[in-house]
Amino acid sequence: MGNPRNIVLGLVALVTAGTLTACDDGRAGAESGAKQLAAALSALDVGSLTLDGIQQDAAAKRLAAVFKELAPAKPNVSAGKVDLSSDKATVPLEYSWKVGEAEWKYTTQATLAKSKDQWRVQWTSGMLAPELTDGEVLDLKVSTAQRGNILGAGDAPIVVDRPVYRVGIDKTKVPAEQADASARALAGLAGLDATTYAQQVAASGPQAFVEGIVLRAFTPEISQAKLATIPGAVSVQDTMPLAPTRTFARAVLGSVGQASAEQIEKTNGALQLGDTTGNGGLQEQYDSLLRGTDGVTIGAVPAEPPAGSAASARELFAVKAVSGASLKTTLDPRLQQLAEDTLAGVGPASAIVALRPSNGAVLAAASGPGSNGYNTAMLGQYAPGSTFKIVDSLAMIRNGMTPDSKVNCTPTLTVDGRTFKNAEGYPEGSLGSVTLRDAFAHSCNTAFIAARDGVSQAQLESAATSLGVAVEAPKLGAAAFLGSVPGSAEGTEHAASMIGQGKVLLSPLAAAVMAASVAQGSPVSPQLVLNPDAVPQPSGGASPSAVPTGSAAGSGSAVPSGSAPSAQATAPATPVTKQEAAQLSDMMRAVVTSGHAGFLTEVRGAPVGAKTGTAEYGKENPPKTHAWIVAVHGDLAVAVFVEDGGLGATTSGPLLKQFLTAAG
């Protein structure tokens, strides 16, 4: 008869206690008494009632016992039309309980009798639940709904039910005096907080299994042999929704586990202690879609079943479980795993994002181990460095320049007392009067900063939105930062914007979108979630605000699909054209054929176009740098980022080459 977990129930009625007395000996008194009875039952507190057939304290205990399985919820009870016959009145009591996602409604009959000008409730168990006898109480059973899967490109399974071992203490297999020691021993083995877990074991019933950890497989650290040495420690085979590996796209997908206290509080009772729910990422953002609806059965059972036999329930209410729906995404499992493998040895926070320019599909969004679980790929906010010269160049092209136009590349350039210079090792042969293509290929900072008088900050912002940056992503379906480009800036701040610093911020996803828009010849809007009717939950996955160490927080913020910060436009003001994109592609190809990314000539297949980027941050001398590179390769656009990574060409470049070569 045990309730596996508390069920969300609602509609608590607040009542003002009163004695069931009549103002007169007619209908008004009976109706008043009926309403007070309904209010008392709504509060599950009959202490104010005058009762016949049972003592006050016995009635309170009986009421608590009948509805114990439904606690902590209370019903909404209303009194119907009173049928008055002399000194007796009968009244229908209409009950409504919120049971999970369902509503249980039923009607019972109550009788009131008038004695010495006072209407007294004639106590019967039948007025509490349909045909309930004095020897019965209510029993609640919950059948958990099958959680929906998360699928990748072509409906490839990503998060599906996979075998697990639930490891914990079975209190039926350990003497009570040994339970604390066993709990602490298991906690030490599993890396749990010993005091907390021991308290959980102590607080559980004598027949409880208290889960400590869930394993995909046993390891040398936690083996079946070691469990056997701890009295009461057992492993139970089960399944749970899991990705192919523990780390696979975890920052994007999230995980599934028991609801936290914070989640329970946020949902105002929709989740209860012990509920399984999504934690972070898509699992939390689309939890209501994936979770489905639990099944519920309420029955009447003997309050004291015969010894040695199970209670036989008389069913009063039942709702079948409804399985959750699958969430379809564009992630390519092979490319996602390849991206994660490529970043496996990178110490700082890092990311690889791969898009398909032709339709905006997000094929991979990997955050390296140095990101410590943060979704650097989609939420990171970083100065993009010279990758932003793609935006600069578009603005310059719109002002009449071409890749063959001449610009002046000097070793240094001073703006309002601040000296800007080119990266270490800049080739002397590309100084002086050079083509825009050459300045782009070798990433001449001074040439682009010198163009600031002809390219306003507003033009930079417009060019960025033209390439799908700092605009909304209505098809994405996930929390993301799509960039922030100020529309106004003067002096050194405007100069810094020309080399992707100052207050200009991109995420690796936004950088990949920028490159994809060049490849496609029109602004690309990224898409991750394919379910057309899936609606993200406000309480999950929305608007993460944490910014990784070392990143610069700008005016933009991480936002869910369809919701943009003030620095974002709803759509490109002037979309990039195929003619403009062709000129940008010409210059990105030059980065490979004559610039910093010559190593990409070895990548087979379609010609690779790229742009490297290095952005200084922090107050150290010399400052630390973010390392960037973006590239297009056929119908593939990729951004690679390393938070503390030296030069883009030497740090992120080899990672990009490794990824493109293996991607095929």
Rounded to 5 degrees, what angle do the CA atoms 337, 342, 347 make? Answer: 120
Q: Quick one: tokens of 524?
A: 């690309």
| pLDDT above 70: percentage of residues in the chain | 89
Beta partners for 109? 92
In this prediction, residue 14 carries a pLDDT of 29
Domains 150-294+321-328 and 333-533+541-663 fall in the same CATH topology: no
In this prediction, residue 504 carries a pLDDT of 96
Cα 173 to chain centroid, rounded = 38
In this prediction, residue 573 carries a pLDDT of 73
Q: Which carries the bigger pLDDT value, residue 122 or residue 116?
A: 122
Q: Which carries the bigger pLDDT value, residue 21 or residue 57?
A: 57
Give mean pLDDT, residues 70-77: 93
pLDDT higher than 50, residue 17: no
The whole-angstrom separation of Cα 664 and Cα 653 is: 17
Q: Quick one: tokens of 611?
A: 């742009």
In this prediction, residue 311 carries a pLDDT of 61
In this prediction, residue 535 carries a pLDDT of 72
Give mean pLDDT, residues 300-323: 85
Cα 74 to chain centroid, rounded = 32
Residue 488: CB atoms within 10 Å? 10
Give mean pLDDT, residues 20-29: 60
User: pLDDT-based confidence at 568, cuts 50/70/90?
Assistant: low
Indicate the range of 243-257, 420-434, 558-572, 617-631 predicted with least confidence: 558-572
Element (H, E) at 582: helix 578-593
- Give the residue from 490, 177, 165, 520 showing the smallest Cα distance to 355: 520
Q: Domain spanning 1-142+295-320: which superfamily?
A: NTF2-like; domain 1 (3.10.450.100)
Please give the model's pTM, rounded to 2 decimal places. Answer: 0.81
pLDDT higher than 80, residue 189: yes
The whole-angstrom separation of Cα 173 and Cα 235 is: 12
In this prediction, residue 431 carries a pLDDT of 92
What one-letter code names the amino acid at 382? Y
Residue 5 and residue 275 in contact, taking contact as beta carbons nearer than 8 Å: yes
Beta partners for 433? 408
pLDDT higher than 50, residue 502: yes
Pairing of β 88-99 and β 102-115: antiparallel
Residue 482 and residue 545 in contact, taking contact as beta carbons nearer than 8 Å: no
Beta partners for 213? 167
Q: Which carries the bigger pLDDT value, residue 450 or residue 23?
A: 450
pLDDT higher than 50, residue 187: yes
Rounded to 5 degrees, what angle do the CA atoms 470, 474, 480 make? Answer: 55
3-state secondary structure of 532: coil
User: pLDDT-based confidence at 259, cuts 50/70/90?
Assistant: confident
Residue 279 and residue 260 in contact, taking contact as beta carbons nearer than 8 Å: yes
- pLDDT, tens only, 401-452: 999 999 999 999 999 888 898 887 788 888 999 999 999 999 999 999 999 9
Structural class in CATH, domain 150-294+321-328? alpha beta
In this prediction, residue 260 carries a pLDDT of 76
The whole-angstrom separation of Cα 54 and Cα 87 is: 20
- Using N-to-C axis directions, what is the helix angle for 333-343 and 653-663, rounded to 10°? 150
Residue 576: CB atoms within 10 Å? 25
Domain ranges of the chain: 1-142+295-320, 150-294+321-328, 333-533+541-663
- Give the residue from 319, 314, 316, 275 showing the smallest Cα distance to 296: 319
Cα 129 to chain centroid, rounded = 41
Pairing of β 608-617 and β 412-415: unpaired
In this prediction, residue 547 carries a pLDDT of 33
- pLDDT, tens only, 586-605: 999 999 999 989 999 999 99
Residue 248: CB atoms within 10 Å? 18
Give mean pLDDT, residues 99-110: 92
Structural class in CATH, domain 333-533+541-663? alpha beta
The whole-angstrom separation of Cα 599 and Cα 601 is: 5
pLDDT higher than 70, residue 532: yes
Total count of residues recorded for the chain: 664
Cis ω for the linkage preceding 575 (within 30 of 0):
no
Give mean pLDDT, residues 21-50: 85
In the chain, what is the straight-line distance between the N-terminal and C-terminal CA atoms, in Å? Answer: 59
- Give the residue from 381, 382, 378 showing the smallest Cα distance to 364: 378
Give mean pLDDT, residues 194-210: 92
**Helix-, strand-, coil-residue percentages of the chain, each rounded to 5:** 30, 25, 45
- pLDDT, tens only, 636-649: 999 999 999 888 88
| pLDDT above 90: percentage of residues in the chain | 73
What one-letter code names the amino acid at 253? L
In this prediction, residue 630 carries a pLDDT of 98
Q: Which carries the bigger pLDDT value, residue 297 or residue 265?
A: 297
Q: What sign results for the dihedral spanned by CA atoms 213, 214, 218, 224?
A: positive
User: pLDDT-based confidence at 538, cuts 50/70/90?
Assistant: low
The whole-angstrom separation of Cα 154 and Cα 150 is: 12
- pLDDT, tens only, 357-386: 999 999 999 999 999 999 999 999 999 999
Element (H, E) at 434: strand 432-435
**Residue partners of 16: CB distance under 8 A and separation at least 6:** 39
Give mean pLDDT, residues 18-36: 71
Residue 93 and residue 77 in contact, taking contact as beta carbons nearer than 8 Å: yes
In this prediction, residue 545 carries a pLDDT of 31
Q: Quick one: tokens of 525?
A: 């809007």
In this prediction, residue 100 carries a pLDDT of 79
Residue 331: CB atoms within 10 Å? 26
Indicate the range of 217-231, 348-362, 534-548 predicted with least confidence: 534-548
Residue 411 and residue 444 in contact, taking contact as beta carbons nearer than 8 Å: no
- pLDDT, tens only, 460-487: 999 999 999 999 999 999 999 999 999 9
**Residue partners of 462: CB distance under 8 A and separation at least 6:** 395, 573, 574
